[in-house]
Chain A
Amino acid sequence: NAGVTQTPKFRILKIGQSMTLQCAQDMNHNYMYWYRQDPGMGLKLIYYSVGAGITDKGEVPNGYNVSRSTTEDFPLRLELAAPSQTSVYFCASSGGSGTTIYFGEGSWLTVV
């Protein structure tokens, strides 16, 4: 009963470092998403994917990259970490248009 699994849960990065947040879902969902949540704010969409090999930008894509080589996995790449990327990151998935979106437990990232 895993659902959406994110790793790591916590990470501290230095400015300029790179890292990848991993996301995997076991529900055979076509749609996957990455959101970020800043303190006291709602979630903002970074990137999304409607199927393997297809990705598109959301509201706040700058500084991030994604890939979707399989249905199950949707990693988020930070190339040159900046303090402005300190946030909580949520991966999510859904079966398609109009269906419920399920969220992972979040990844807390601090850039110092």
Chain B
Amino acid sequence: GNSVTQMEGPVTLSEEAFLTINCTYTATGYPSLFWYVQYPGEGLQLLLKATKADDKGSNKGFEATYRKETTSFHLEKGSVQVSDSAVYFCALSEGGGATNKLIFGTGTLLAVQP
């Protein structure tokens, strides 16, 4: 079945460091790919998405490119801030599926130190 694999956390960085969180997926068909962010004590918020191969999603300085050849959707940010500390979830939605269900990775905790 479809699945999402994320790099293990926690990831601890200093402010202004470069961030990469790896995400790979297994899916039949052509899924849409998402990154969600969960700040402490809050629900999940959509950070960015890409719906087809080679699409780049971007938001708040974060970027991720849909790579079909490597089945990856790695999250990157050039310069992290303390306020970026959160749990980041990679997810996929089966392309063309009538139910629009999301399959999530296990999440990666990011801690940014000043």
Binds B, one of A43-51, A61-69, A75-83: A43-51
Q: What are the residues of chain A within 8 A of B100 when measuring CB–CB? A: 31, 94, 96-99, 101
Distance (whole angstroms) from the CB of A8 to the closest CB of chain B: 14
Q: What are the residues of chain B within 8 A of A45 when measuring CB–CB? A: 101-102
Q: Which of A48, A99, A102, A104 contacts B101 (CB 8 A)?
A: A48
Main secondary structure of the interface of B (DSSP, over half): loop
Q: Which of B96, B102, B105, B107 contacts A97 (CB 8 A)?
A: B96
User: A101: nearest residue on chain B (CB-CB)?
Assistant: B102
Q: What are the residues of chain B within 8 A of A4 when measuring CB–CB? A: 43
Asked if B49 contacts A100 (CB within 8 A), the reply is yes
- Is there a chain A Cβ closer than 8 Å to B93's Cβ? yes
Q: Which of A50, A94, A99, A104 contacts B43 (CB 8 A)?
A: A104
Interface size on B, residues (CB 8 A): 24
Q: Which of A42, A90, A97, A102 contacts B106 (CB 8 A)?
A: A42
Interfacial residues, chain B to chain A (CB-CB below 8 A): 4, 32, 36, 42-46, 49, 51, 89, 93, 95-102, 104-107
Q: A31-B100, A41-B107, A45-B101 provided; 17 other pairs, C-beta below 8 A?
A: A4-B43, A33-B102, A41-B106, A42-B104, A43-B102, A48-B101, A50-B98, A56-B99, A96-B100, A97-B100, A98-B51, A98-B93, A98-B95, A102-B46, A103-B43, A103-B44, A105-B43
A-B contact pairs, 15 of them (CB 8 A): A41-B107, A42-B4, A42-B105, A43-B102, A43-B104, A45-B101, A48-B99, A50-B99, A90-B43, A97-B100, A100-B49, A102-B46, A103-B45, A104-B43, A106-B43
